[in-house]
């Protein structure tokens, strides 16, 4: 059995950091929306596990979340699950768009399907990363705790222009900088991201106030009334851009 799954990106329509916990993680409150922009993950049973990556840059095989998910699923299943993966990267890395977490969720779903596993995928997803549970279902949700406590919300059809300056930010570094900088709405992490890399601040100024950072950065988005308005928004920009739209839950 072969399977191909889109690993969709997400936008944080807002993001508030509540506090830094004693364990070092940060409690947040954020409205997350899945969008059509996606990586594509193909998976098939094999004699040994391999991962091929093309498209935009991604962590090397040993550090890639897809193989980390495979190792976690093998532990839960109690047996090897040799699988060949082909990951087509379309979501910019380190942009706050959730590409790696979405790849992880797609790998988890693919493994359960092709190896016919009866596992608690939600529990495994929480072990992999805070955003991974969101990508098991997609759509729109309110995320609380460290982002893993999800309340599904209705998806509203909307167009989004996305711009990425080619800066790959470390989520851990940005959250660490929040402890010093704090920050306010609509994204409490923007000031921290600008502290980690001042080029983010320059990028934000060039885009204008209608653009908003997603996640821990460095990508920004602008809500648009139509596809044509979105095309006009990205046309003059000299950076990686995309025009996408919201998508509902897929599970």
Is residue 245 over pLDDT 80?
Answer: yes
Q: How far apart are CA 136 and CA 250, in angstroms?
A: 8
User: Could you tell me the fold of the domain covering 3-152?
Assistant: Ribosomal Protein S5; domain 2 (3.30.230)
Contact 244, 37 (CB under 8 A): yes
Q: What are phi and psi of 189, to 5 degrees?
A: -95, -5
DSSP lists the bridge partners of residue 221 as 162, 212
Mode of pairing for the β-strands spanning 50-55 and 83-89: parallel
| pLDDT for the residue 204 | 98
Assign 60 a pLDDT band (cuts: 50, 70, 90): confident
Assign 58 a pLDDT band (cuts: 50, 70, 90): confident
Q: How far is CA 248 from the centre of its chain?
A: 16
CATH of 159-245, one of 3.40.30.10, 3.30.70.890, 3.40.1350.10, 3.40.50.1820: 3.30.70.890
**What stretch(es) of the chain map to CATH 3.30.70.890?**
159-245
Give tens-digit pLDDT for 132-184: 999 999 999 999 999 999 999 999 999 999 999 999 999 999 999 999 999 99
Contact 27, 19 (CB under 8 A): yes
Mean local confidence (pLDDT), 34-54: 97
Q: Cα–Cα distances in Å, from 139 out to 136, 147, 175, 181? A: 10, 15, 25, 31
Tell me the whole-structure pTM to 2 decimals.
Answer: 0.96
Give tens-digit pLDDT for 71-82: 999 999 999 999
Mean local confidence (pLDDT), 224-244: 98
Selection from 115, 119, 92 nearest residue 103 by Cα: 92
Selection from 74, 64, 62 nearest residue 39 by Cα: 64
Selection from 246, 249, 245, 167 nearest residue 213 by Cα: 167
Indicate which residues carry an active-site annotation. 10, 131
Assign 62 a pLDDT band (cuts: 50, 70, 90): confident
Assign 57 a pLDDT band (cuts: 50, 70, 90): confident
Is residue 223 over pLDDT 90?
Answer: yes
**What stretch(es) of the chain map to CATH 3.30.230.10?**
3-152
| pLDDT for the residue 67 | 96
């Amino acid at each position: 059995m072969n399977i191909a799954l889109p690993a969709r990106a997400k936008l944080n329509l807002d993001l508030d950091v509540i506090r830094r916990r004693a364990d070092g993680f940060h409690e947040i409150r954020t409205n997350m929306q899945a969008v059509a922009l996606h990586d594509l993950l193909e998976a098939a049973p094999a004699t040994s596990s391999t991962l091929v990556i093309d498209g935009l840059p991604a962590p090397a095989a040993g550090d890639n979340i897809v193989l980390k998910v495979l190792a976690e699923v093998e532990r839960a299943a109690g047996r090897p699950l040799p699988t060949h993966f082909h990951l087509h990267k379309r979501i910019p890395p380190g942009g706050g768009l959730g590409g790696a977490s979405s790849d992880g969720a797609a790998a988890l779903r693919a493994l359960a399907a092709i190896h016919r596993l009866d596992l608690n995928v939600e529990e495994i997803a929480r072990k992999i990363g805070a955003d991974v549970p969101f990508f098991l279902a997609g759509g729109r949700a309110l995320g609380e705790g460290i982002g893993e406590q999800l309340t599904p919300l209705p998806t509203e059809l909307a167009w989004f222009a996305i711009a990425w300056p080619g800066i790959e930010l470390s989520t851990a570094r940005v959250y660490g900088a929040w402890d010093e900088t704090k920050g306010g709405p609509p994204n409490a992490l923007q000031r921290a991201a600008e502290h980690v890399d001042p080029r983010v601040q320059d990028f934000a100024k060039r885009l204008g106030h209608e653009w908003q950072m997603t996640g821990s950065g460095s990508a920004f988005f602008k809500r648009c009334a139509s596809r044509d308005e979105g095309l006009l928004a990205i046309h003059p920009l000299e950076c990686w851009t995309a025009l996408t739209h919201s998508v509902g839950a897929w599970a």
